[in-house]
Chains A and B, each alone.
Chain A
Amino acid sequence: MNPVLVAVLVLGGVGLVCAVLLVVASKFMAVPVDERFPKIRECLPGANCGGCGYAGCDGYANALVDGSEEKINKCVAGGAAVVEALAKATGKEAEAIEEKVAYVHCKGDCNATQKKAEYNGTKTCKASKLLFGGEGTCTFGCLGYGDCAAVCPEQAINVINGVAHVNGARCIACGQCVSVCPQKIVTLIPKAAAVKVTCSNKEKGPVVMKKCTAGCIGCGLCMRNCPAEAIKVEGFLAAIDYEKCIGCGKCREVCPKKCIL
Chain B
Amino acid sequence: MSDGAKLLLIAFSMIFTENYVLVQFIAICPFLGVSKNFDSCIGMSGAVIFVMTLASAVTWTIYNFLLEPFGLTYLQTIVFILVIAALVQFVEIVLKKYIKPLYKALGIYLPLITTNCAVLAVTILNIDESYNFIESCVDGATAGIGFGLALILFCGVRKALERAKPPKCFEGLPITLVAAALTSMTFMGFAGIADNLFH
Interface residues of A (CB under 8 A from B): 3, 6-7, 10-11, 14-15, 18-19, 21-22, 25-26, 29-31
Q: How far, in Å, is B110 (CB) from chain A's closest CB?
A: 15
Report Cα–Cα, A18/B78, bound state, in Å. Answer: 14
- Give the 6 A-B CB pairs with smallest separation, nearest first: A18-B86, A29-B97, A25-B93, A29-B93, A31-B96, A25-B90
Chain A residues whose CB sits within 8 angstroms of the CB of B197 once the complex forms: none
Q: Is the CB of B82 within 8 A of A14?
A: yes
Q: Report A23 CB to chain B, min CB distance, Å.
A: 10
15 interchain pairs (CB within 8 A)?
Answer: A6-B70, A6-B71, A10-B70, A10-B75, A11-B79, A11-B82, A14-B83, A18-B82, A18-B86, A22-B86, A22-B90, A29-B93, A29-B94, A29-B96, A31-B96
Chain B: interface residue total (CB-CB under 8 A): 19
Q: B72 and A10: CB pair below 8 A?
A: yes
A22 touches B89 (CB 8 A): yes
Chain B residues lying within 8 Å of A18, measured Cβ to Cβ, are 82-83, 86
Q: Which residue of B lies closest to A122 (CB)?
A: B165
Contact of B71 among A3, A14, A31 (CB under 8 A): A3
Interface residues of B (CB under 8 A from A): 62, 66-67, 70-72, 75, 78-79, 82-83, 86, 89-90, 93-94, 96-98
**Contacting A6 at CB < 8 Å: which of B72, B90, B94, B97?**
B72
A-side contacts of B93, CB under 8 Å:
22, 25-26, 29
The answer to whether B78 and A11 have CB atoms under 8 Å apart is: yes
Task: Report the minimum CB–CB distance from A30 to chain B (whole Å).
Answer: 8
**Given contacts A10-B70, A22-B89, A29-B97, could you give 15 more A-B pairs where the C-beta distance is less than 8 Å?**
A11-B79, A18-B83, A18-B86, A19-B86, A22-B86, A22-B90, A22-B93, A25-B90, A25-B93, A25-B94, A26-B93, A29-B93, A29-B96, A31-B96, A31-B97
Q: Judge whether A15 and B94 touch: CB under 8 Å.
A: no
Q: How far is the CA of A42 from the CA of B104 in the complex (A)?
A: 23
Contact A7 B97 (CB under 8 A): no
- The smallest C-beta distance from B103 to any residue of chain A, in angstroms, reads 10
CB-defined contacts of B79 to chain A, threshold 8 Å: 10-11, 14
Chain A residues near B83: list those with CB within 8 A.
Answer: 14, 18
For A19, the chain B residues whose CB sits under 8 A away are 86
A15 and B82 contact, CB distance less than 8 A: yes
Q: In the complex, A29→B100 CA distance in Å?
A: 13
Residue in chain B with minimal CB distance to A17: B86
